[in-house]
Structure 1
């Protein structure tokens, strides 16, 4: 590896922290814009503006990255994210949020390929590779916690009307990450024949692969939509304030990360089929409890906040 492990991993972790914050601020945006009298019919389309670019750009981003290099491509993506986050607080029109999320989704599609490409091309030791991959994944989950907690404090303070200026902190983090990458020397992969790249992509297009990708996209889309609309659900149906709604959402991410950590240790020691049956049973039990509580205590169902947090860990136990 061309740089020390700590110096190499820090900007990568910071990159995933930044992308996690901008990708998972959807719930905050929906919560605040709904109070600004933007209808849910309009807000319902925001998720697609973020997720569809991630899905489609990921298929063709390799061609762009191979020409410009992983380091330059990632710096460009971070620069665009920083500029867009700097502009957002000063724009009032709703259509800009659609454009903003589309740009963020495109940059993330490029950024994630660059990050994993850098790790693959610069880390050969298996132990170091596992350590960096775990820390990068942890940074993504921490980003969800940080963005919901930070904006929750801002929205609940006396400066709540200036909540959009919280995105300026993302611009600052982007500038720091760009500075770290500019000082980092990395190994770039050898340039490949572009015709071969397109042949490989075209060779992957078959009915089974299309079905597989459609299922994966559906799972991710449902999961992201669940996270995006959860704060509004908490506030409108469980009658909690914006701060507590966002805090509950951030703890959902924390429990999801715990689920990943637990799963990584369990699957090596127990039968996979029995493990899946256990996870499905836990999920069904949670759903029965949630439905029972709603029917038995419709006036005050705040205990559901805690069950939704537990669903984060149990669902990730199953998905892993």
Structure 2
């Protein structure tokens, strides 16, 4: 019962942050109209979200176990609650920047805590991967719910309307409920060392040293490029639907929810498929599927007739084709994380998670800024075509990662035989 309550608490945290973090694409689309700003100006919101994630993760990751995971989760939720109250109370673009800075800082605390708690609750790579895929799948369901939730508040007839800001009052209530759930959950505090501030410094240095290991370096490059692709699509897909497909703003956001649904189903399904299939061929299949959908669906975008479209269900099948890329990309991130984290001792997992969050944040910011700039310069279709380059990079990195992983497995087996 205690284990289920803990899982419910960390899953609720992820669900709430899924809505907040992935609302950035919707917020960019609405801010362009509501605050009369350009696409490059609006794209900085991704930086306000991701750079605090990177900064806080880099400097705080090694301290979180001493703080306690429950305290870290509650602090993160309270920071986000403050931002959700600020935005509708002070409707301005600068207040939205503050919101995403607070949410980004908070998510660094939450993600490191959640990943560490998953390590405490599981005893094997399979258990770790299954639970993490489930939590990440719930995260994507939160993303899906967020698109429809925000679409409900959008005034499609008036692009300058600020009615969509009222969505944050409901999110504030959700955060309050999540704070209560975390408070009553029996999340244990890690054993604290007695070496004082010098030990915190040692842990920070240990985190930096991890990045110099070849396998870890290839891993974080893979993570960086994956998040670059995911955020590039997730952030700019509403604008792509609005400008390239010529759909109304609310339907553009609702159609983007198909991408989130595909990600959710992909991650939930991957936990079952990977019980029977090795991760490496599975990953290569996913990457090939991503590239194929980009090459097949984008040329068809110009041929979609969106005249007199009043709801998502009236759209032709071709309009749903590109968002389905989420099903192929979904398993890559959690599987890579599980492979690396489950190979480390428990005491090193917070430091490794810190590196994951840092490079995920940098990849997210880069993806949004690069895609947004290309969107402005060469158009939405061409901007999404360019995402083929990091997909090739991920494939190359995976080949190296597989080689090191196989070598590590052989070494581990030799150690076991020598000790037996």
If the TM-score is normalised by the length of the shorter chain, which range does it land in? 0.7 to 0.9
- Name the structure 2 match of 1:259: 266
- Name the structure 2 match of 1:143: 142
Q: Which moved more, 1:89-98 or 1:268-277?
A: 268-277
Q: Which moved more, 1:26-35 or 1:261-270?
A: 261-270
2:256 pairs with one of 249, 259, 262 = 249
Is 1:224 matched up with 2:231? yes
Is the alpha carbon distance of 1:57 and 1:223 closer, same or farther for their aligned partners in structure 2, counting shifts above 3 Å?
same
Query: Unaligned 5+ residue runs, structure 2?
Result: 194-198, 307-314, 336-420
CA distance in 1, matches of 2:115, 2:285: 32
Is the alpha carbon distance of 1:215 and 1:52 closer, same or farther for their aligned partners in structure 2, counting shifts above 3 Å?
farther
Normalising by structure 2, report the TM-score: 0.67
- Name the structure 2 match of 1:168: 169
- Kept in 2, the 8 Å contact 1:47–1:225? The answer is no
Is the alpha carbon distance of 1:81 and 1:34 closer, same or farther for their aligned partners in structure 2, counting shifts above 3 Å?
same
- Kept in 1, the 8 Å contact 2:84–2:169? The answer is yes
Shift of 1:303: 4.7
- Name the structure 2 match of 1:314: 328
CA distance in 2, matches of 1:318, 1:60: 26
Shift of 1:22: 0.8
CA distance in 2, matches of 1:269, 1:129: 16
Query: Secondary structure at the residue paired with 1:310?
Result: helix
Shift of 1:8: 2.4
Figure out how many residues of one structure are paired with residues of the other and give that number.
Answer: 316
CA deviations 1:255-308 (Å, max 9, x no partner) are 11222233333344346665455444433432332243246x276596542112
1:197 pairs with one of 188, 194, 203 = 203
- Kept in 1, the 8 Å contact 2:76–2:107? The answer is yes
1:8 pairs with one of 1, 6, 9 = 6
Is the alpha carbon distance of 1:221 and 1:51 closer, same or farther for their aligned partners in structure 2, counting shifts above 3 Å?
farther
RMSD: 2.9
CA distance in 2, matches of 1:110, 1:34: 30
CA deviations 1:22-49 (Å, max 9, x no partner) are 1001011111111121111211221122
CA distance in 2, matches of 1:124, 1:287: 37
- Kept in 1, the 8 Å contact 2:137–2:268? The answer is no
Is the alpha carbon distance of 1:305 and 1:65 closer, same or farther for their aligned partners in structure 2, counting shifts above 3 Å?
same
- Name the structure 2 match of 1:181: 182
CA distance in 1, matches of 2:238, 2:142: 16
- Name the structure 2 match of 1:305: 319
Normalising by structure 1, report the TM-score: 0.86
- Kept in 1, the 8 Å contact 2:156–2:250? The answer is no
CA distance in 2, matches of 1:213, 1:35: 36
- Kept in 1, the 8 Å contact 2:25–2:237? The answer is yes
